[in-house]
Structure formats: structure tokens, C-alpha cells
Amino acid sequence: MTVPARYAVYLAPPPTSALWRFGCDVLGRDAAAGERRSGFAIDGIDADAWRELTAEPRRYGFHATLKAPFRLNAGLSLDELFQAIAALAGALTPFDAGPLGVSTIAAGPNRAFVALTPIAPSGELARLENAVVRSLDRFRAPLTDSERLRRDPARLSPRQRDTFETWGYPYALDDFRPHFTLSNAVADAEAIAAALAQEFERRLGRPFLTVDALVLFAQNGADGDFTILRRFPLGASEAA
């Protein structure tokens, strides 16, 4: 059996939901079932070209980041991680983070990601992310030099560099911007976002983001895809 290279704690809609099906169709992979989805395209871009435009987020599955991918600390076990997430989730209450919409997120000069983001900020969502980042950090192995180089610290702000060194991810806490990525960083993000917004409206209307679980994903080998390992419902007892 392949030992997971990294773990991550994400928000992910229930696998039976219309929102989950939409995200998996767009990305071309279902991280719950471990199955490929094919055939999705938008006007002006065929299905093969669309798969190229979604190659990077496809690896991670449809999600919004709470605790970014991390290697498990050598002094702790996966079972202990399960117990910690279950205890944290059990102490929280499900909530509504408001409606989602398609938007773009800048990713350097003339390039942006297309993503689903909350229409308005959610204090509850920010507090959830803060709790997950801080309470689970003891399970994260220290950063390696190669991990630092891959993040390219010169592109980060001083605060983001400090957050990266302290918590293993530069876009946490004060720089947390909840989003479900739908594309690679692309030059024509606005046009793609407009087309995806039409498809999103057609299929789902304007759904609200119901936060009802913490979801543990695992990466299958160093270059593998992330799949759902376990969902931890909010408000559930640790024993359950």
C-alpha cells in the first residue's frame, strides 16, 4: 500500500450534493470516488483543451483550503490526526457561509485563477480556518529547504513569508481567502469566469455554502492526486 505523501484538511461539499458534482465535472475528477470525469467544456474551448486548463487543481480535487497540504510529523500517527480532527469537528457547529459566485484571483502579472468564492466575507468561516490552522499544526512536519524554494518566498509579502514559516502556508490567518479553485492560472481568466458563471447559474442557481464537516484529504505518493480519506461532521461526537 502506498503511504500518503501529504495530508490536508479542506472544506468539501457532500459527495451527493449538486455543488460537489459541479466542481468535479469542471475539474475532471471526483476526489471522493477516485474517478475521472470527462466531457466538460465551455463555449470556445473543447473538452481536451479544458482538461489542460484544469490540470493543476485537478490534482487536489474540488475543495477550499483550511489546513494546506503537509507531511505528517514523524512523532505523531495518522490515528492521532484522526482523533484530533474528530475532536475539533465535534466541538463546532455547522453553519451557513453565504452564497457562492464565480470570480478570479490574481496570480501574477496578467494571470489569474478562476474560483468559486463566497459573495460576502464570513466571520464564522474565518474563525473556523483559524482554529484548524492553529490546533492541527503540531501534526505538520517542519518545512524543508525544497518546500521553501517551491513557494518562491521572494514573491510573498513580509507577512506572508512569516505566516509561511510559522504555519506552513502563506495564505492563512490574516491572508485567508476562502475559494474553490476551478482553473490553472490563465491569461484569459475573466472570459473563462464569465462562461463558468453562466454554467454555474444554470446548474445550481446561487447556492449557499453550508459548512458541515472537516474533510481530510491524502495524497497518493509524492506526485499523486489527493483523495478524500475521511469526513468529520461538525457537531458529531468524537466516538462517532
Is 238 contained in some domain?
A: no
Is 240 contained in some domain?
A: no
* Contact call for residues 34 and 186 (beta carbons, < 8 A): no
Is 1 contained in some domain?
A: no
The mean per-residue pLDDT over the stretch 12-32 comes to: 96
Is 190 contained in some domain?
A: yes
Does residue 45 carry a pLDDT above 80?
A: yes
Global pTM value: 0.94
Q: What is the number of domains present in the chain?
A: 1
Report the pLDDT value the prediction gives residue 4, as an integer from 0 to 100: 80
Does residue 240 carry a pLDDT above 80?
A: no
Is 118 contained in some domain?
A: yes
Q: Mind giving me the DSSP string for 58-124?
A: HHH-S-EEEEEEEPBPTTS-HHHHHHHHHHHHHTS--EEEEEEEEEEEE-STT-EEEEEEESS--HH
User: Residue 146 belongs to what H/E stretch?
Assistant: helix 145-151
Is 161 contained in some domain?
A: yes
Q: What is the CATH number of the domain that holds 14?
A: 3.90.1140.10
Is 2 contained in some domain?
A: no
Range of the domain at 78: 7-233
Is 239 contained in some domain?
A: no
